[in-house]
Every structure is written in structure tokens, then in C-alpha cells.
Structure 1
Amino acid sequence: MKFLKSVVGKLWMTIIGLVALVLLINSLLLSRFIDTNLISPKDQERTLQEMARKISAEIPRHRELPYYVVLVNEILGAQEAGLIVYDASLNPVQQDTQAGLEGSNFFGEKELRDALVGLEQFSQYEAPDGKEYLAYAVPIRETAGSAAPPEGVAVVYQKKIALNYIQQYYTKLFAIAVVIGFLLTTFFAFFLSTRITQPLLRLKRGADAITKGEYSIRQPVSSEDEIGELTKAFNLMAERLELTIQDLRHEKENLSGILRSMADAVVTVGADGRPILTNPHGEEVLRTWRSLDWESDGKGGLPEPLAALFEQAMTEQKEVTDKVHVLSSVWSVVIAPLYSNEPDGVRGAVAVLRDVTEEHRLDKLRKDFVANVSHELRTPISMLQGYSEALLDDIADSPEERKQIAQIIYDESLRMGRLVQDLLDLARMEAGHMEFKFDRLQVAKLLERIHRKFAVYGKDNQVRLQLEVPDEPMSLERADEDRLEQVFTNLLDNAIRHTPEGKTIRLSASPATLNGVPAVRFEVADEGHGIPPEDLPFVFERFYKADKARTRGSSGTGLGLSIVKNIVESHGGTVSVSSTPSVGTTFTVILPGRT
């Protein structure tokens, strides 16, 4: 069955059908020809009967009967026929001696007598050699139509025409033609298979190889006909397809490389809301967000925030941008629909997620910075303006009051000057424009000077300042003494302002290591109220103040710890803070370069 469905089978069946049709038409025409041009058995019988009647009518006219019979037999011998004549007594007068046949071979005495009384007789006879003969016995009358008794009987016989032989011959010929036609069609079918179907089969195998990804496959061109042109077209198609696949593969690799190198998370979503392509960052984000508990389940495999934005983008068929807050992070999400030529128009969407937590925090700090600067400057400016108006309006009556107002104006101007100077210093350090004078520095000498400087200040605030320095000498190979003094000045100033009366502040130095190299650890520990845990990550931000109710005075600008962090990092060190509410706070500074 599979063979008949193949091209070879169809060609074979087609050629066999054509040959069979031609042979059938030929057989019909030949049969028609035989029926038209050859004598049938009935025609032979009729002809033989007419011949017998004519011969019997001519016999009475020839007195030399033997001679006439011989002459007739010679004439009939060409047609494999003969004549036997009987007299009125049914004795043979003359008979054919060539075929060796006698009247008794055809008719018995009864048939001959019937013929003698005027009844024509017909008979068939098969000779011992297998030949068949037809014979007619007719009466011999003196005159045709005479009522007188017949004078004898004429028996005319003829070999039966072998139409069966002709039919058998043509049947055998037809069978031979069928066999030859079958063999020829089979030969030509397989010949055509070699010339036509084999190249087609090679093309099919090549197409199967291409479907499996073997784009380098090529087929030999074995002819210059249509199949050869088809093979050339196939090779050209395969070549261009290979180049196209290579270009697509390169583009895919480039796109994949770009997606992998992107810091943003990229997620491609199908129309059913299920992610179909993500980069590593996108996979990590989806895995993290899926592990969270949302109020409602998202569509497909998307977490709830992305699912809502995806639905909006698919419904409105336009780009959707929003910010999503997940835990303590802020994400900027852009979802753009992917259009197609299908009736619905959209086949999915691509989402780009960027972690903007730092930008959000910086933006908040910027806003807080502007608000704090405005607030910090507005207070001294308002006081300067108010007390200046008081002097201009002569509100102060006595010199002591005017002196007091002038002192307030002076103090506020100093405070505003410190604020401006701190802002300038911080801006220079962050921009890298601050100049440092690095030199070798003895740690004990620096701390003793700072201790003497703040001991009196602490005594005035009823806070004891304790210095702890080891006996072994310690030094910093690369340090700016003035800037480090500014660091500890800011730390101690904060500690004194935030430490209740009667408590102790400890300033200490000890050996340590930083990144595997010798270093010095400095600690400023107070016994104040401490810093709440939620405020600890932000204490080094500009203008950040934790609990303003715990400050002793209002002289702080909120920039001291930011300046401390920048100076320490400029020295290649680190600064950290630890605090326990109601116990105290410890600032730790580690600087490299201990000897």
C-alpha cells in the first residue's frame, strides 16, 4: 500500500493503465476486424449450402460427369473442400480422392435417402487427424424446380474454418503483449524512479535534515531539467536559510548577552500572563516576589503587582509605567505590549523592572536636604531679622539689653557661618576637591590634645571624659591631623550634647587590623539615651536627626556625622555605630597604618 502511494508506484500504475487501455482498444478493434472480414461458422455453413445447391444444379448439364466432378474437386481443393456424387441407387458415381473422405464419413444411408427424396441434409465430421468438416447433401434434379424424382445426391464438404485457433492465437498474442507491457512499464517505472524520484527523494531527505537543524545540507545537481532547476532552488533556499538562521542566532546571542548584562530585570510575558523569557535578574526578582504573601494571586506566573500592571497594559494596549513598593525596596516598572498581526493585536508584553530604591532614597534625602537647609537657615535668619528690627526700633532700653541682643545676633551669625562652612566642606569632600595634608601622626599625642580640649567643655556640662590609650606607641603613616581632629571634635561634641549629666564618655584607641593590614581602632562611647534601631542606618546622612527631643541644645547642623564619614573614608578607613537604647552609643573609627 505504501508503494502504491509513492511516486514510483503512481507512475507504474499510470503506465500499466495506459498500456492496458491501449491493449484493450486494440483487442476491440481486432475483434471487430475479425467479425467483419473473416467468415464465421454460420456464414461458412450458408456458403457451403449455396455452393452445394449450385453444383447439384450444374451436374445434369454435364454429360461427362466424372470429368466434371474432378474439375470441381480441383477447384474446391483450393478451399479445402470436395464433392461426392451418388446416383439414384445411392451408389457413389465419383468422389474426391485427395482428402481420402467418403460420403459415409458424413451421412448414413438414412440421411442420404432423405436427401434423395428432396430433403437437404447437414452434417459435421471430425477426421482422425483432428480436422473438422462441414457437409451438405442436396438432391440432383434434371431441371431446377422439376417435380420429377431426383436423379441422385451431391455431397459437398469443406474443412471447417478454425476461428477458435485465430482467437486462441490472438489471445496468446494479447497475453504476450500484456506481459511485455508489464515488464516494460516496470522497467520504465524504475528508470523514471532513478531519473526523477531519486532526486526528489534526496530533496525530501534534505528537507528532513533541514527540519532537524542541519542547514548546511546540499544536494548534487544531476540534470539540467526541471528537477535540476528544483535542486538548484533547494540548494539556494538552504544556503539563504542557513545564513538567515546564523544571523538570527547571532542576533539571539547578542540579545541574550545584552539581557544577561543588563542590571535591570527583563521579563517577557505571553498573552496568558505566564513568563516565557527572563534574564537572570528578572528570574531572581520573580523568584523573590513569588515567595512573598500577597493579598491576591497574580495571573499566570506573575506576582500580584506585575499582574495588575500587565492586565492594564493588555487592556489599554499601551505602555504602562508605575512604581512598586516591595518590602523596603522601590521598583520602577515599565510594561509595553507586544503587537502582532493576529486579530486580537497583542501577543504579550515585556516588562522592565529597575531597582530605584537608592534613587528613591537619594531623592528623599535631596528633598529632606532642601527642607533642612531651609529650616536651618530660616531660624538664624529670622532671629537676625527680629533682633535687628528690635535694635532699629529702640526696643532695648538699657545698654545691657542691647548688648544681649547683639550677642544673640552674633551667636546666630556664627551658627549660620558654621552651617555654610560645613556645607562647603561636605560638598568639596564629596566632589573630591578637599585638600588633605597627609603626614605621619602619633595617635597618643592627637588624642591627648583632643581630651584636654573637651575636658573643660564636658566638666561644664557635668559629663566626665575618660581617655584610654595603650602604653605601646601607635602611629598613622598617612593622616591629616587637622581633619582627624575635626572627626573627633564632631563625635565628642555629639556625645556631650546627647549624654545626661553625671555620665561618662570614653575616648579610646587600640590596635586592630583592616583588610589584613595593621590599623588603629578609635572609639567614642557615651552613656546617653542611645539611638533607635530604625534610625541607625541613616545617622551618617546629611541633616538626619534621630530623636530631636534628646538633644541638649539646638546648635547642631545635622552635617557633623556626614563630614566624619567623608574624612574617614578619604583616609581609607571605616566608621560605624552601635547603640542600645537607654544604655549608650559607640562610634568606631578604624584607620590603617599602625606601627
Structure 2
Amino acid sequence: MRLNLFWKLGLAFFALLIAVLLPVDYYAERTLRRDYERAGFERLTSIARVALSSPPPVSSFSTTSRTPSPALREWLTKMASSGVRVTVITSDGLVLADSQSDPQTMENHAGRPEIREALANGDGLSIRHSVSINGDLLYYAARFAMPSGPPIVLRFAVPLLTVNDEVWAFRRRFWLSSVVMLLVTGMASLLISRTFSRRVERLQSFSRRVAEGDFRPIDADRSGDALEALAVSLNDSATRLDRAMRTLREERNLSAAILGSMVEGVAVVNSAERLLFANEGFVGILELDSPPQPGRSLVEVVRQTELIEAVRDVLKGAPRVEAEIVTGTLRQRFFAATVASVKATENSGAVVVLHDITDLRKLERVRRDFVANVSHEFKTPLTAIQGFAETLLSGAMDDPQNRVRFLQIILEHSRRLARLTDDLLELSKMDADRLALEVDRVSASQLV
């Protein structure tokens, strides 16, 4: 990480600096070249004005001989002493004299652009390659009107090599200073990028510590830049995250304590029918040897098909399913199972709650037995009363001996029904906690 970021910043700075220097060099070279060319033409123009103000004697020109006269050679030497090349050309392009070449070896110059322009406009400029001296020159031609006959063209030239030398000298100085600047700024940028990368590494190490659960704050630099603001922001985030994690842990511990202390069995199943959580009540109800590991399949833990089907119905989309399961063989226990759907942002599942209803079922069985017994106790006297009453109505009323006996039996069973009714009323009062305590004197011999 250090070398990667370090070199990235350093190379990026170098690339940016070179990207700035290259166009600067390009435009500076073009501007300098134009300035030197303009200065060269201005120099040639000044020399041409001097030459036109003091032209060679008219008698020194000969349109028939290409050998310059002594007066013309003297004039050429005088003009060439300023460092320029001077050429005298007729209007038809014939070279009469040249300060650097033999005019007899020079070709016709009628097609030269500066000559044509000078004959047409009075003066002409051009930059081109010279065949005579095999080099690039700046040319300035001026038309000189003869008293009689066609005009003569006086051409002045300076080597372009001088301009190139000046430009290259400037470029050498420019690049030398640029290299020095690159070295100085490069070292400074490397030091800055190294410091920057180390600070970034500290922030990265801090974020790694926070991810591992270490929320100790990082010492922020007093640089006042964006990295310091980032470090302060990360410290604030770590503090809030630490507070949130503590709250979540407390809530988780509280939930675990509540679920662990519940008598009811509670379990959480995900959409893949795998147990995510089961409290001690759930383990005890299903008589498991040990708490199931999170991720185990529901069918591996639960043997009650009613409970499995209820969970599957909820996972298929039912919001709530209630069922009843029975555990044990010799000693059966009854549980009411409630399965409810749980939907999170991305995952869904079901919550299973098992409530022990064994006592309720026992009470229901006792109640059924009690009703059956009471019904039997009521049926015996009622049957006797009904039977003897029907017998009396059938003619036994006329038999004095049996009539009295039958009526006594009816009276005895009626009293039995009254006693049963009084007992039921007493039981009802006991169940409603409304039975009044009766205090009475009894003989001790009756209790022994």
C-alpha cells in the first residue's frame, strides 16, 4: 500500500509537470522563432534601406557580362560586412553579383518568390533553402529602379541557422532549468506524497481496527487539511458505532436473558428450514440432549410432523398457524404451538412458540370425568323416581301397602338429589372462593 500510493502520487506529479512543460516548450519555441525571424527581417529591411540610400554606381551594372565590376564588388563587400549575404539580380532573373558565390555558377532566379514579389510590389520576403550554399536563409528583396532600362533587384539574406542556434540555445537553457526544477519539485513531491501515504495508512489501519471491534480513537493531525477532517469524522463514526454496538449487545443480552428465562419454548427458523435460535425451554420441551447448533435442519431436531407442517405453511406465506403437539409416550405432555411469520429486509423466516397446556388438558379430562360421574349420580335417583312415579300412575295408587312404600322410595331419592345439588353448590362456591367457614361445636368422640 505504501509503495503503491507513494509512487502513484509521485509519478502523477511528474506526469503533470512534464505535461505542463511540453506545451510550454512548444509554444515558447514557436514564439521565439517567430520573434527571431521578425527581427531578422527587420534587420534585412534596415540594411536594404541603407543599401538603397547608397546604391552602387549605375555604371557598375552590366547586363551583358556576369563578371561584377570592381565598383560593384566593393559595394558588395561593404554591404556584406554587416553579416548578410547580398545578391544583385536583373529583372529577368540573371545574377549579376553575389557576396558569397560565383554568379556565373548560379542559376536563374526569376522564379524565386522574393524576386517575383519585389518586382511586383517593390519588396519581397521568403524563408527557403538555398541551393548555392546548401542552407536555409531569410530573404529580403528590394527593387532598385534604374535611370534607364529595367529595374534591378537587390536581395539580402541571413542564414536561418543563426535563428535555429538561438532557439536551441534557449531550449537547452529552458530544459536545463526544467530538469533542475523537476528534481527539486520531484523530491518535494515525493516527500509530500510519502507523508500523505503514511497518513492514509494510519487511517486505513484505524478503519481495520474498527472493523475488528477496536473503537479507540485515532490521534488526528493538526494539519488542518481534508485528512484531518476525515480522521475527526472517522473518530466520530467510531464513537457512534461503539455506542450502537454496546446498545445492541445490551439488547441482545437482555433478549437472551428474557428468552432463556421463559418457560415457553421459542425457536427461530429461516426460509431454508434451518434453526437459527432455540432457547432452553424449547430444548426441554422436545427433550433434546443438547441445544441444537445454529444452522441445523428443522427435521433433524423436531420429530413432531404437526409442528414441521405448521412451519412450512408459514414459510409458504401464511401469516400465522396454530397447532397442538404431544410429547412423551408413557407420560404425555401437551403443547400449543404458535408459528408466526417474520420478514426482514432481505431474509424471511418463522418464529415458533410452544406453550405447555398439559395442566389444561388434565383439567379438561377431570371436568369430563366429573360431568360423567355427576350425570351417573343424577341418573340413578331420577330413574328410580321416574319408575316409581310411572308405577303409581299405572294403578299402584289403589294399593295402599305399595303406595306408601313407593312414595317413601321417591322421597328418599328426592332427598338424595337435593344432597347432590347442595354438594354441587358447595363445590361451585369453593371454585369461586365464596365458601363461608362454618364454626360449630362438635363432640371430640365424633372426630376420633
Q: TM-score, normalised by structure 2?
A: 0.60
The answer to whether structure 1 residue 406 and structure 2 residue 408 are counterparts is yes
Question: Which residue of the partner structure matches residue 364 of structure 1?
Answer: 365
Determine whether 1:329 maps to 2:333. Answer: yes
Matched, 1:61 2:71: yes
Residue 262 of structure 1 corresponds to 262
In 2, the alpha carbon distance for the partners of 1:395 and 1:179 equals 147
Q: Secondary structure at the match of 2:351?
A: strand
Residue 420 of structure 1 deviates from its aligned partner by 5.6
Output the CA distance in 1 between the equivalents of 2:190 and 2:405: 128
**Cα distance change, pair 18–316 in 1 and its aligned pair in 2 (3 A):** closer
CA gap 1:354/1:62 in 2 versus in 1, 3 angstroms: closer
Instruction: Tell me the residue number matched to 2:274.
Output: 274
Change (3 A) 1:33 1:413: same
Specify the code of the residue in structure 2 equivalent to 1:357: T
Larger mean Cα displacement after TM superposition, 255-264 or 53-62: 53-62
Residue identity opposite 2:401 in structure 1: P
1:303-357 Cα offsets, whole Å, 9 max, x none, are 4322211122233431111212334222200000012345xxx711101012212
**CA separation of 1:368 and 1:11: change in aligned 2, threshold 3 A:** same
In structure 2, the CA distance between the partners of 1:287 and 1:377, relative to structure 1 (3 Å rule), is: closer
Structure 2 gaps, min length 5:
58-68, 86-100, 107-130, 135-157, 291-296
- Where does residue 25 of structure 2 map in the other structure? 27
Deviation at 1:270, TM superposition (A): 0.3
TM-superposed CA distance for 1:230, in Å, is: 3.4
Indicate the SS of the match to 2:323: strand
Within 2, Cα distance between the matches of 1:212 and 1:16?
Answer: 38
Q: Tell me the secondary structure at the aligned position of residue 396 of structure 2.
A: coil
**Residue in 1 that maps onto 2:203:** 203
| C-alpha distance 398-267 of structure 1, shift in aligned 2 (>3 A) | same
Partners in 2 of 1:426 and 1:33 — Cα distance? 120
Q: 1:27 to 1:367 in 2, by over 3 A?
A: same
Task: Go from structure 1 to structure 2 and tell me whether the alpha carbon gap of 1:360 and 1:429 turns closer, same or farther (over 3 Å shift).
Answer: closer
Alignment of 1:37-116 (within 5 A): 37-38=35-36, 60-61=70-71, 72=78, 76=81, 115=102
8 Å contact kept, 2:265–2:279 = yes
Q: Which amino acid aligns with 1:213?
A: G
**Aligned amino acid, residue 381 of structure 2:** P
Matches within 5 A, 1:131-150: none
User: How much has 1:169 moved relative to structure 2?
Assistant: 6.3
The structure with the larger Rg is 1
After superposition, what is the alpha-carbon deviation per residue over 1:153-192, rounded to whole angstroms, capped at 9, x for unaligned? xxxx99x849558636633641541352254145235425
Alpha carbons of structure 1 residues 323 and 280: separation in structure 2 relative to 1, 3 Å: same
CA positional deviation for 1:222 = 2.9
Tell me by how many angstroms 1:376 deviates.
Answer: 1.5
Q: Given residue 362 of structure 1, which amino acid in structure 2 is its aligned partner?
A: L
Structure 1 unpaired stretches of 5+: 83-113, 125-156, 291-296, 438-479, 486-595
Question: Does structure 2 retain, via aligned residues, the 8 Å contact 1:23–1:178?
Answer: no
Q: Is the 8 A contact 2:322 2:339 kept in 1?
A: yes
Mapping for residues 334-353 of structure 1, pairs under 5 Å: 334-342=338-346, 347-353=348-354
**CA shift digits 1:521-567 (9 cap, x unpaired):** xxxxxxxxxxxxxxxxxxxxxxxxxxxxxxxxxxxxxxxxxxxxxxx
Instruction: Return closer, same or farther for 1:422/1:287 CA change in 2, 3 Å cut-off.
Output: closer
Residue 238 (structure 1) aligns with = 238
Task: Quickly say closer, same or farther: Cα 1:368–1:218, change in 2 above 3 A.
Answer: farther
Shift of 1:300: 7.3
Contact 2:396 2:402 survives alignment (8 Å): no
The structure carrying a bigger helix percent of its residues is 2
Q: What displacement does 1:412 show?
A: 7.5
| Aligned-pair CA distance for 1:415 | 8.6
Structure 1 Cα separation of the partners of residues 323 and 264 of structure 2: 15
Q: Quick check: 1:317 aligned with 2:318?
A: yes
Q: Flag the structure with more relative contact order, 1 or 2, with Cα contacts below 8 A and sequence separation at least 6.
A: 2
- Tell me what 2:111 maps to: none
Instruction: Report % sequence identity.
Output: 20
TM-score by length of 1: 0.47
What is the CA deviation profile of residues 272-302 of structure 1, one whole-angstrom value per residue up to 9, with x for unaligned ones?
1111111112234456499xxxxxx976765
Instruction: Report matched runs for 1:162-561 at 5 Å.
Output: 163=164, 167=168, 170-171=171-172, 173-188=174-189, 190-191=191-192, 194=195, 198-220=198-220, 222-286=222-286, 288=288, 302-303=302-303, 304-326=305-327, 327=329, 328-342=332-346, 347-384=348-385, 386-387=387-388, 395=396, 397-399=399-401, 402-403=404-405, 406=408, 409-410=411-412, 413=415, 417=419, 424=426
Cα distance in 2, alignment partners of residues 289 and 365 from structure 1: 33
C-alpha contact 1:320 1:334 (8 A) present in aligned 2: yes
Specify the SS of the correspondent of 1:332: strand
Q: Secondary structure at the match of 1:174?
A: helix
Aligned residues: 358
